């Protein structure tokens, strides 16, 4: 389970975030490309835009459920 204290600095403020457990598997970016991006320099994903529509929210929740290492949190600030 993602830990808010381990949230990566690239994440925008809001409910969803990615923490340091990310293994750069690309699942979240494939699932919700409007909300997740890759830090190419360090090789991890992060939330660059919080969901703004019901469809984006559904895709972020799908990414949350699909993350193989549970690096996505949904209890962010």
Does domain 4-73 fall under CATH 3.30.70.20? My reply is yes
- Is pTM, for the whole model, over 0.85? yes
Q: How many residues appear in the chain?
A: 77
Reported as a single tens digit per residue, the pLDDT across 56-66 is: 999 999 999 99
Query: Is the pLDDT assigned to residue 77 strictly greater than 90?
Result: no
pLDDT in tens, 11-51: 999 999 999 999 999 999 999 999 999 999 999 999 999 99
Q: Is 13 exposed, middle or buried (0-12, 13-18, 19+ CB in 10 A)?
A: exposed
pLDDT at 59: 98
* pLDDT at res. 42: 97
């Amino acid at each position: 389970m993602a830990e808010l204290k381990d949230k990566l600095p690239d994440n925008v403020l809001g409910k969803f975030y990615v923490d340091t457990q990310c293994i750069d598997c690309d699942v979240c970016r494939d699932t919700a490309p409007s909300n997740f991006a890759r830090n190419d320099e360090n090789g991890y994903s992060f939330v660059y835009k919080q969901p703004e529509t019901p469809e984006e929210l559904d895709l972020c929740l799908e990414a949350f459920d699909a993350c193989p290492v549970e690096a996505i949190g949904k209890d962010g600030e």
